Structure 1
Amino acid sequence: MDSIIIQKTTDTIGKHKKEHEGFEYYKSVLVPARASGQCKVTLYEIPPKQAAYPYHYHTKNEESFYILKGKGLLRTPKGEEIVGPGDFIFFPASKDGAHKLTNVSDSEFLVYLDFDTYNDIDVAFYPDSNKIGIWGKGIDQVYKVQEQIEYYDGE
């Protein structure tokens, strides 16, 4: 799709995902990843005391969050801080951009816009669990880093 998109966020239907304790979200894609595009925009709604994703960083895709509603605990390599409505956060594609955003409220949703660059293949690292994720072109796989082998192993 290479056309102008005009969409009311109230008309979007969020995809609900809750597969692991402490992680849950409603995700409404406003600008989908496109073969000819470099931008992806998603509206996230995070229930109380939940996070959308574990602490991670990307090697290709940059992310920016704009907080619309609620309060979150933002963890980065520089530490933790509370963010709220009107806060804009940019995450570079590197270790310095590692992040996790957790809703700190007991009753309110944390709502934010996630603006991402989009590359055909992206690699994400998860420092807390020593995992690596490969995303794009239908690959979407996660591995433990300690399973790393030599380039010619098995050839």
Structure 2
Amino acid sequence: MSNSEIKILNKNSINPQHKAEHESYEYTKYEVTKDGEDKHCHICFYEIPPLKANYPYHYHLNNEEVFYIISGNGILETPDGNKPISAGDVVVCPPSEKAAHRIINSSETELLVYLDYDTANYPDIAYYPHSNKVGILANGIPNKFYREGTNIEYYEGE
């Protein structure tokens, strides 16, 4: 199917990707549009197990993220404190430090399931305030992460 054709997909027809590389973070992701495709948005479903988050607290400088909660209950960590989220809620995170966020499943027994719609304006810069990291996100190539404050001079090493 080309990128210029209409897609009709069912979540159950998508091969999921499971990731659990850190004790506090785990998810299953169903990509409707894949990374590396020439597109203007990235769409996927996420399932977050009980008491886990899928990504660290962060914000973007170039991309907006929109989450539609399908089922379950969670906590949205924000600069203004934690906000409860549940089925039927829509969360809009514009590209801004004021829109830093992390979704945590607050249930001890149920999955938190949501649809994630992101703009795909690359390259993008993501900041991780809790860990002082900066991420350079580019479409189709591996993301790069650096510790904030490790600046070097422009001509160093040339």
Category of TM-score, reference length = shorter chain: over 0.9
Q: What is the rounded CA distance, in whole Å, between the counterparts of 2:16 and 2:71 in structure 1?
A: 16
2:151 is the alignment partner of 1:153: no
1:98 to 71, 85, 100: 100
Unaligned runs of 5+ in 1: none
Q: Which residue does 1:76 correspond to in 2?
A: 78
Instruction: Give the AA of the match of 2:7.
Output: I
**What's the TM-score once normalised by structure 1's chain length?**
0.94
Q: Deviations over 1:62-96 (max 9, x none)?
A: 10000000001101111111100000000011101
Q: What is the rounded CA distance, in whole Å, between the counterparts of 2:130 and 2:122 in structure 1?
A: 26
Aligned residues between the structures: 154
Alpha-carbon deviation of 1:32?
Answer: 2.7
Q: Which residue does 2:15 correspond to in 1?
A: 13
How is 1:3-152 mapped onto 2 (pairs within 5 angstroms)? 3-33=5-35, 34-35=37-38, 37-137=39-139, 138-152=141-155
Unaligned runs of 5+ in 2: none
Contact 1:43–1:112 under 8 Å retained in 2: yes
Alpha-carbon deviation of 1:148?
Answer: 1.6
Contact 1:64–1:90 under 8 Å retained in 2: yes
User: Percent identity, aligned pairs only?
Assistant: 44
